[in-house]
Amino acid sequence: MYYVGPLDLLTAFHTALSQPVRPRIWSLREWAERAVRDGWCLLSDLGDVMEQQDPRIYHLERHMKEACKVFGVPIRSTLFRPSSPYSQSLLFDGLSVVDAACLMVTFEQFGFTVDPSPLVQLLSQRISGQQKLSSEEFSLFFYDRLRFRSMVTLATEQAPSNADVEVLQTRTGHRLEWRSDGAAQASLIVKGPRYRPRRPGTELTCDYCGLSYTRGDMDSSREHQRYHSRVRRCFDPSPSALLGRLFGEVGDLAYRVDQRSPKPLHKEMYERAVMFKREMQFDFIQWAAPPARGPIQEDAIGWLICSPDARSTIRGACAFREREGIWTMDWAWIAPNARRQGLMRALWPTLVQAMGNFPLETPLSEAMREFVSKHGTPTQQQQVNGSSSITGGSHA
């Protein structure tokens, strides 16, 4: 983290941190429990508690408010619960318990021997049940993993460029670098005892699934793995056991999916609709994901398309929607490595037989336009010759 602060705050930090470390064993458990129960603590109390743990903080007493401002910790008017709404309560400078924990963590990162862990532990228990976190809660949630590994900087608006460097290794293993031009500019960099420079993540784009992600960043890599497998299930699918059972011995080139079909087949339709949307860069997914509970709402008719050599392996899908009483082809998507193998050509007569001499929802992709102009019915050919093609946008 990089903080910008006034020179007198930097000097006070530097002076305090240059004093010999005399940590005191002082359990904060009881204090932390009370703070969590109250939800708030007074800034003066927090200052006292931290000073008991590290007497060097005494030198910072009159800089506490400034430090909060610089570290982005909001101070709020806090009061003891009054007995009546008309009581003339005294207002004190206070911090929410989460902000108090963050302030303690920051002081620890700068090399003070304050121990935020009892407070952080209690708060983490509370946070672990939450689905949403503030950025302050997020930093507390990963406190154990990041403890002593940080590098923090406190510098004046313009950090000194040509300045003497004073390096100090404290008994706690923190490494301090103090730069000062002797006049108005200074900087203080503190590296934790377990600090290791992080290798910058490499930005990559996967050739297979097309997703851009950061190698070296766990969350980003995990996100990529999830998406990659999802794409693979549509691009290079394994045979569907359910479809195998439904098709029976004989099999067919496509399986019709409607409101009465099992949810797993709706899921297969939905996944292909996701691939179609992604490839065409449309705004909406044109098939509803089946709900975990309750009946299927999707009222379109879909076809899961298989290949003649592996009849329960789904190579693609297409969907029809009723528009003004006429079934219209809404979209069609064949996995890239199964294209130009005659799948759609072989299926088209079956589709025309089942859905009628259907029109196609426009705009059409160049591939579909080519396809229909060669293999569509005369009416369909007439339609594509008079329609525009996709330039990116919204429909099939």
**Applying CB under 5 A, does 209 fall inside the site for Zn ion?**
yes
Phi-psi region of 369 (alpha: psi -120 to 50; beta: other; left: phi over 0): alpha
Binders of Zn ion among residues 222 to 241 (CB under 5 A) are: 228
**Applying CB under 6 A, does 387 fall inside the site for ligand COA?**
no
φ, ψ (nearest 5 deg) of residue 48: -60, -45
Binders of Zn ion among residues 259 to 318 (CB under 5 A) are: none
Q: How far is the CB of 358 from ligand COA (least distance, A)?
A: 13
Asked whether 149 and 194 are in contact (CB, 8 A), the reply is: yes
**Applying CB under 6 A, does 344 fall inside the site for ligand COA?**
yes
| Half-sphere exposure (Cβ direction) of 335: Cα atoms closer than 13 Å | 24
Chosen residue from 110, 320, 333, 358 binding ligand COA by CB under 6 A? 333
The one-letter amino acid code at 189 reads I
Binding track, positions 257-296, relative to ligand COA; x by CB under 6 A: ----------------------x-----------------
Give, rounded to a whole angstrom, the gap between the first and last alpha carbons of the chain. Answer: 48
Ordered DSSP codes for 333-379: EE-GGGTTSSHHHHHHHHHHHHH-S--BPSSBPHHHHHHHHHHS-HH
Chosen residue from 206, 215, 342, 394 binding Zn ion by CB under 5 A? 206
Binders of ligand COA among residues 33 to 62 (CB under 6 A) are: none
Token pair in block for residue 256: 């019709």
Binders of ligand COA among residues 366 to 385 (CB under 6 A) are: 367-368, 370-371, 374-375
- Select the binding partner of residue 341 from Zn ion, ligand COA, none (C-beta < 5 to 8 A, by kind): ligand COA
Rg of the chain in Å (alpha carbons)? 32
- Select the binding partner of residue 371 from ligand COA, Zn ion, none (C-beta < 5 to 8 A, by kind): ligand COA
**Applying CB under 6 A, does 314 fall inside the site for ligand COA?**
no
Q: How far is the CB of 206 from Zn ion (least distance, A)?
A: 3
Alpha-carbon torsion, ordered 46, 49, 50, 54, to 10 deg: 160
Q: Are strands 212-215 and 202-205 parallel, antiparallel or unpaired?
A: antiparallel
With residues binned 3-state (H G I as helix, E B as strand, rest as coil), the percentages for the chain, rounded to 5, are 40, 20, 40
Residues in contact with Zn ion by the rule CB under 5 A = 206, 208-209, 228
Residues in contact with ligand COA by the rule CB under 6 A = 279, 316, 331-334, 339-345, 364-365, 367-368, 370-371, 374-375, 396
